[in-house]
Structure 1
Amino acid sequence: MSAALMFGFVALILIGVPIAFAMGLASLLAIIAHGGLPFSLLAQRALVGADSYSLLAIPFFILAGNLMNYGGITSRLIEFANAVVGRFRGGLAQTTVLSTMLFSGISGSAVADATALGKVLIPAMKKQGYSAPFAGALMAASSVNGPIIPPSIPMVIYGLSVGKGVSIAALFLGGVVPGLLLGLSLMGMAYYISVKRNYPVFEQVPWRAIPRRAMPALWAIMMPVIILAGVTGGIFTVTESAAVAVLYAAFIGLVVYRELKIQDLVPILVQTALDSALVMFIIALASGFGYLMAISGLPRDIAAWISSVSTNPHVILLLINILLLIVGCFMEAIAAMLILIPVLIPIVQAAGIDLIHFGLIMVFNLMLGLLTPPVGILLYICANFAEIKLEDEIVAVIPFLVMGLIILFLITYVPMLVLWLPNLVLG
């Protein structure tokens, strides 16, 4: 059965079948090959996989991000970021990275970051004299931080998939330092390239004017602080925090910034429904796929193979990282997590690796897959905004991808970069 399941899945992916349908059709093929399982099993497991109160956090976080995007947050965050870093060589490039770091604390989605900020910042960089491939590549690489700096939809899915013993609050806190390291490393690379190519300083805002620029953006910047403080302080659960984020985003857009109109709510809700349906459809069909994979014994066989290579945690993490980097080139991150978590968690636990630490490694690694062809969705989004060929952007993104790989190496082999903040706050 495992052969039919994996062969069918890989074959369907290679011919371009969307990931959710590939999992569903491969599951049907495996049920037929087994002969003793009812077809109703797939529908039953799909309903079980999607029927979770905790999964309500996903549509709520998506809705909060959409509300903030419509509510005028983008321009205010860009203005604040520019006031802080626009004074340096390649100032608009620095502003791009810092803006995405700030927006990441609101959206929880790399695609949302690239879409909301890319359509503003990429044309602006081109107008300032930056090369179009550089502008698109920097925007794509910066958007990787969306699911790393909390809140994060992939972290919610990881926490729910692993279950007992994994705190989503700890995962959120664990993403802060890696997200900051990634942002700072991208800013360093952008500065180096800007100096080398003589890209301009954007705007030298006097230091005394920064607080005035910060005030309009302060309401938006407070959103991730409220979420983290509420979850880690036990005031509300992760699901409840997502609902609080929606109310806060609506309040900012309607009352504070007054750029969100009542008539905007219908398209916002429609877009949220479409985005949520896509994620939940993948989760539902991945549940049946994962169940069949589990009863086929494939996870046990893979775990035995990796254990036969080495029992050293450092070697095991290296092998898993290589596997995830390859998978990330061909598979959407959420689907990859839902398929691989049941396979990898027993291996990780046997090696004595902390599950919070591993969760950040997995999320960070698979987010880098958004920058690698052929699936890398961020490349397509930003190449479209930059009006360039995909192959030109792929070449330009290599230096930024290297920085991401360096940070991945650091968080893999220096666990305290991930665990320091959760241990400090949660004990």
Structure 2
Amino acid sequence: MASVLMIGFLVLLTIGLPIAFAMGLATILAIAWHGTLPFSLFAQRALIGADSYSLLAIPFFILAGNLMNVGGITERIVAFANACVGRFTGGLGLTTVMSCMVFSGVSGSAVADASALGKVLIPGMKKQGYDGGFAASVTAAASVMGPIIPPSIPLVIYGLSVGKGVSVAALFLGGVVPGIALGVGLGIVVYVIARKRNYPRHEAVPLRQLVSAAGQAGWALFMPVLILVGITGGVVTVTESAAIAVLYAAFVGMVIHRELTWRNIGPIFVQTALDTAVVMIIIAFASGFGWLMAVSGLPKSIAAWISGISSDPLVILLLINILLLIVGCFMEAIAAMIILIPVLIPIVEAAGIDLVHFGLVMVFNLMLGLLTPPVGILLYICGNFANVRIEAVVREVLPFLGVGVIILALITVFPATVLWLPKLVLG
């Protein structure tokens, strides 16, 4: 049954079927081949996978990001970032990195970051003489910070999938240092390439203008602080914090900036529903797929194979990283997480690896898959904004992907880079 499930899934992916439907049809084919399992089990497992109060955090975070985007937050974040780093060579590229870092604390989604900021910054970089492929690759690579710097939709899904007392607050805090490290690394690469290609820089802004830009962006900068303090302080749950983020975003957009009107609310709700449906159908179908895979005994076989190679935690993490980097090239990150978490968690626990540390390694690794063809969705989104061929984006993204792999290696080898802040704040 496991072979039918996996072969069917790979064949359906190869012919271009969307990943959610590839998982669903592969599961149905495997059930039909088995002959004794009722088809209703797939529907039941899919509903069980999607029926969770905590998963309400996903549409709330998506809605908050959409509200803040329409409410004028994006432009103010870009203006603040440009005031801070625009004076350096390649200033607009550095502005893109910093803008994505700030916007990551709002959206929790790499696709949201790339879509919201790419349509503004990529044409701006091209107008100033940046290569289209470079402009697209910078934005795509910087958008990876979205699911790493809290809040993070993938980290919420990881925490819910693992259970066993894994704190989403600890996962959020664990993403701060790797996310900032990635932003700094990307900024260095942008600066080096910009100097080599003689990309332009902006004039240094007066201190008064910098303070003004910081004040305008202050409402956006305060949102991730509000979420983190509420969750880590035990005041609200993750779902409740996401609902508060929606109210906060609506208040800022309507009352403070006055760019969000009741006329905008309908289209925002429609877009949020569409974005949420994409995520939830993947979660539901991946739950059914993962359940059947567990029933087939494949996870135990994979666990035995990896455990048979070595019992050293670092070696096991290295093997898992290689597996995830390959999977990330071909599979959407959330689907990969839901399928692989039941397979990998027993291996990780047996090796004595901290589950918060592993969660950040897993999410960081799979987010790099957003930059690798053939699935790398960020390459296509940003390439479309830049109006360049995907080959040009892939070529330019390689140095940034290299930075991501280096940061991944560091957080894998040195767990303290992830666990230091959660231990400091949560004890």
Shorter-chain TM range is over 0.9
Please name the residue that 2:397 is paired with: 397
- Rounded to whole Å, the distance in 2 between the matches of 1:282 and 1:209 is 45
Amino acid at match of 1:225: V
Assess if the C-alpha contact under 8 Å between 1:136 and 1:383 holds in 2.
yes
What is the Cα deviation at residue 208 of structure 1? 4.6
What is the Cα deviation at residue 203 of structure 1? 2.9
Amino acid at match of 2:72: G
Q: Deviations over 1:21-80 (max 9, x none)?
A: 111111111111222111110111111111110010000001000000100001100111
Q: After TM superposition, where is structure 1 displaced by more than 3 Å over at least 4 residues in a row? A: none
Alignment of 1:16-415 (within 5 A): 16-415=16-415
- Rounded to whole Å, the distance in 2 between the matches of 1:266 and 1:362 is 36
Assess if the C-alpha contact under 8 Å between 1:83 and 1:203 holds in 2.
no
Q: Deviations over 1:219-266 (max 9, x none)?
A: 111000000000000000000000000000000000000000100000
- Rounded to whole Å, the distance in 1 between the matches of 2:6 and 2:213 is 54
Assess if the C-alpha contact under 8 Å between 1:91 and 1:203 holds in 2.
no
What is the Cα deviation at residue 206 of structure 1? 2.5
What is the Cα deviation at residue 272 of structure 1? 0.4
* TM-score (norm: length of structure 2): 0.99
- Rounded to whole Å, the distance in 2 between the matches of 1:236 and 1:357 is 23
Q: Deviations over 1:397-421 (max 9, x none)?
A: 0011000100000011011110000
Percent identical across equivalent pairs? 72
Aligned residues: 427
What is the Cα deviation at residue 299 of structure 1? 0.3
Q: Deviations over 1:283-315 (max 9, x none)?
A: 111111111111111000000000111111111
Q: Deviations over 1:326-381 (max 9, x none)?
A: 00001110001011101110110011100000000010000000000000000001
- Rounded to whole Å, the distance in 1 between the matches of 2:203 and 2:80 is 12
Assess if the C-alpha contact under 8 Å between 1:82 and 1:203 holds in 2.
no
Query: Are 1:6 and 2:42 matched, yes or no?
Result: no
Amino acid at match of 1:179: G
Amino acid at match of 1:245: A
Amino acid at match of 2:370: L
Amino acid at match of 2:305: W
Assess if the C-alpha contact under 8 Å between 1:24 and 1:289 holds in 2.
yes
Aligned with 2:242: secondary structure? helix
- Rounded to whole Å, the distance in 2 between the matches of 1:292 and 1:137 is 38
What is the Cα deviation at residue 282 of structure 1? 0.9
Amino acid at match of 2:316: I
- Rounded to whole Å, the distance in 2 between the matches of 1:229 and 1:276 is 26
5+ residue gaps, structure 1: none
What is the Cα deviation at residue 14 of structure 1? 1.1
Q: Deviations over 1:69-92 (max 9, x none)?
A: 100001100111011111111111
Amino acid at match of 2:63: L
Q: Name whichever of 275-284 and 241-250 sits farther off.
A: 275-284
* TM-score (norm: length of structure 1): 0.99
5+ residue gaps, structure 2: none
Amino acid at match of 1:152: S
Q: Deviations over 1:97-152 (max 9, x none)?
A: 00000000000010110111001101111111111111111011000101000000
Aligned with 1:41: secondary structure? helix
Aligned with 2:129: secondary structure? coil
- Rounded to whole Å, the distance in 2 between the matches of 1:378 and 1:261 is 30
